[in-house]
Amino acid sequence: MEKFEKLTGIAAPMPLVNIDTDMIIPKVFLKTIKRSGLGVNLFDEMRYDRQGNENPDFVLNKPQYRDTQILVAGDNFGCGSSREHAPWAIADFGIKCVISTSFADIFYNNCFKNGILPIVMPQEVVDVLMKDAEKGSNARMVVDLEAQTVTTSDGESFPFEVDAFKKHCLLEGLDDIGLTMNNVKDIDAFEGKMAQERPWV
């Protein structure tokens, strides 16, 4: 997993509330177990019409937001089913950070496991960030995980809280497999010891 340290990028405003995982990636695209290739179908039913043509009014289809790396969203982002395909699609599109007033618990935890930083901010702060995101590609936000701050294009900075362990994993680029591999020497030693002490197992 790629390390997340400091991100400077375009932020897209998506003020809709209760964006659920089926809106993020519709169930028709859940047949794959690959983490790549889902970005093209992110927010599929809002991005495309029934003929597969892009909806020019959808924020991520607008020229200034095609390279979005930060999403400023409405309340209760990621609610609905627990599908991990939702953060897979977000990450594959290129979004590395989602900011909202609240997230569904399972989606929130899945983000960290897939290299995405979900940030919870008070409504008044999200309102400021949403307004800044509306400026388009000329306005770039800075998300500093080490310092735990989000800074607008105008230089206004806001602190955020994040679990220390989750922060460590993102900074080091460690998913569940990476965490396990950090202890591979101890695991090998334990298995070697067990093989000698209990060869029948």
pLDDT tens track for 159-175: 999 999 999 999 999 87
What's the pLDDT at 46?
Answer: 96
DSSP SS3 for 188: helix
16 Cα distance to chain centroid:
17
Q: What share of the chain has pLDDT > 70, as a percent?
A: 91
Q: Which domains does the chain have, with CATH numbers?
A: 6-172 (3.20.19.10)
What's the pLDDT at 30?
Answer: 86
What's the pLDDT at 132?
Answer: 97
What's the pLDDT at 11?
Answer: 97
Q: Can you give the length of the chain in residues? A: 201
Q: 158 pLDDT band (50/70/90 cuts)?
A: very high
Per residue in 91-137, pLDDT (tens digit) is: 999 999 999 999 999 999 999 999 999 999 999 999 999 999 999 98
What's the pLDDT at 176?
Answer: 64
DSSP SS3 for 119: strand
Q: What share of the chain has pLDDT > 90, as a percent?
A: 76
Q: Mean pLDDT across the stretch 176-190?
A: 62
Q: Mean pLDDT across the stretch 186-195?
A: 67
What's the pLDDT at 81?
Answer: 87
Ranges of H-type helices in the chain: 21-24, 44-47, 85-93, 105-113, 123-133, 164-172, 176-181, 184-197
| Mean pLDDT for all residues in the chain | 91
DSSP classification of residue 35: S
CA 199/CA 201 separation, integer angstroms? 5
174 Cα distance to chain centroid:
15
Q: How much is the pTM?
A: 0.87
